[in-house]
Structure 1
């Protein structure tokens, strides 16, 4: 409190700049977040370091990292600044209704499964909130890329993030057309897949997804091979319906085709349910009223389903 008491009027903005650089490990990314120039950010940090008489960052031409003193200051400032921002936002919002822009990074499947069902209702209830939703198949660093939150499978959420469950458990399905199975036979154990044409999935990072099958605690990971590789899971379902091969896809994407007989399942007892999708965000940043409203709606929808 002594530092705050003796501080100058622009210390609040200097502390904000310091925390932005600490979060992004980049002066340019911090400048983009705060709508400032990199030179203004650099100047604010230099002034703060000079007044505190301590170096807060180690800088090279390629990287920015916190010093020990910087780490200590950041750990103390984060909760304090979050409280200040929350208090200011509450005072500025006379009607207390959520407003502002909320940036969400999610896979296309997550957008369709979790966000699309609530969007119309969300905008009716919160007309002053703008959702900026980016479909991204990569596991982006949501903090570095300027997103407020991301949506991914629970197993893919970074451990340092706050995660909120927004879907039921998910289950994958090994599927192909009835004609394909009639001609090529049904695989009875995962090893049998080696004799089949498989439809592979490629992440935007370029990596090929390895099929993960499990039964009675025994896990099998299978590097699928076949004539077709796609980056779109609904298209994988279409390819399986067309008899091109066997696909391994989220069950809900194949549900209609399984129901009407265009697809058949195999290895069903090797496809247990897994923890579903989570919305996640950094616990070191203030949760805006718009993001909080979205989280509340998604969790209420999940509990009612």
Structure 2
């Protein structure tokens, strides 16, 4: 018999974070106290739950099995408790969302503000990540990515308009190097390359053939390679070359003339962002309220 159910909750947090330090910070206890609590739980169960090294913590096979059994139960308990808050016309709880910085900052930020104002007792934890993240393994409530194609056990809800891409450069750069009039002429220019964190390959530029409506792929090349669009934008504004990125990242700079859009008639757009999440989450009143505010109607 478990003496303290809080030890099981602590176990879930450690299993989620794979770190005593991170879990202790989330729980508001010391690392040593949490480690002692987990050893006590292992003694009570007479099972080793964690593999510990000086650098990392991971669940054993038994620990992972216990986590998979307990996590939905604790999540269901939390959802049921949160559902009671509807009797006082509010919701509370915590939502952990993973997505690209562009999605948070440019596509849904205003909606997030509406949600937080409407439900002031809810805590949101936003994790910005360029690489593709397994939200189940990462213990997130939901993820955000372009397009609606998701795993079979996931639900996808559209939360933004299409993402319009734009090729841009500063007037100063164009004065020095000329204005490209076609995709082929891009080989004569400095292109600011972005290395993708998941594949570690260079982000392939895509344009639209105005006649056939087919996608034209172009591999950019230049002296500078970065790993995110913040640096790509800064490099572009520093007159270092051409940059291809979502147009709304440079909307103010385009309006003031700090940058110029190039080959605009061949610009491509991608399907908008979708919120995707496990089907079991749709029964949570808190999560349903979140989806209702984010979704495109």
Give the TM-score, by structure 2 length.
Answer: 0.69
SS of the aligned residue for 2:244 comes to strand
Question: CA 1:41 to 1:104, structure 2 compared with 1: closer, same or farther past 3 Å?
Answer: same
Aligned residues of 1:236 and 1:249 also touching (Cα < 8 A):
no
Structure 1 position 103, deviation (Å)? 6.1
**CA separation in 1, counterparts of 2:229 and 2:68?**
44
Q: Match for residue 55 of structure 1? A: 48
> What's 1:167 paired with?
160
Q: What secondary structure does 1:36 align onto?
A: coil
* Count of residue pairs brought into register by the alignment: 286
Deviation, structure 1 residue 200? 5.6
Contact 2:48–2:60 under 8 Å retained in 1: yes
Supply the distance in 2 between the matched residues of 1:145 and 1:272 (Cα, whole angstroms).
32
Q: Identify the match of residue 252 of structure 1 among 248, 253, 261.
A: 248
Does residue 263 of structure 1 match 2:257?
no
User: Is the Cα contact below 8 Å between 1:166 and 1:278 reproduced in 2?
Assistant: yes
The answer on 1:110 being equivalent to 2:125 is no
Counterpart in 2 of 1:272?
268
Question: How far apart are residue 91 of structure 1 and its match?
Answer: 4.0
Which residue, 57, 75, 83 being the options, matches 2:76?
83
Structure-2 separation of matches of 1:224 and 1:160: 41
Shift of 1:121: 3.7
CA distance in 1, matches of 2:169, 2:153: 39
Does the 8 Å CA contact 1:137/1:203 hold for their aligned counterparts? no
**Residue 34 in 1 paired to residue 14 in 2?**
no
Q: Distance in 1 between matches of 2:170 and 2:52?
A: 58
Which of 271, 290, 297 does residue 294 from structure 1 map onto?
290
Q: How does 1:112-261 map to 2 (within 5 A)?
A: 112-119=105-112, 121-129=114-122, 131=124, 136=128, 139=131, 151=144, 153=146, 164-176=157-169, 180=174, 184-189=178-183, 191-198=184-191, 210-213=203-206, 216=214, 219-225=217-223, 231=230, 239=237, 245-253=241-249
| Cα distance in structure 2, aligned partners of 1:201 and 1:126 | 38
What's the counterpart of residue 4 of structure 1? none
Q: Secondary structure at the match of 1:222?
A: coil
Superposed, 1:67-78 pairs within 5 Å as 67-78=60-71
> Is the 1:33–1:146 contact (alpha carbons within 8 Å) kept by the matching residues of 2?
no
CA deviation vs aligned residue, 1:102-159 (integer Å, no higher than 9, x gap): 566665533342333335543553344455667x57659789999866655569x999
The answer to whether the 8 Å contact 1:163/1:280 transfers is: yes
Rate the CA distance shift 1:33–1:159 in 2: closer, same or farther, 3 A: farther
CA RMSD, Structure 1 to Structure 2 (Å): 4.7
Using the alignment, how far apart are the partners of 1:151 and 1:125 within structure 2? Answer: 21
Question: Which secondary structure does the structure 2 equivalent of 1:171 belong to?
Answer: strand
Please give the alpha-carbon distance, in whole angstroms, between the structure 2 residues aligned to 1:132 and 1:23: 14
**Hey, what does 1:17 align to over in structure 2?**
10
TM-score (norm 1): 0.68
Whole-angstrom CA distance in 2 between matches of 1:46 and 1:117 = 45
Cα offset, 1:71, TM superposition: 2.1
Structure 1 residue 259: deviation in Å? 8.3
Instruction: Encode CA deviations 1:142-198: one digit per residue, 9 max, x unaligned.
Output: 89999866655569x999987653212313122346893897243422x42121244
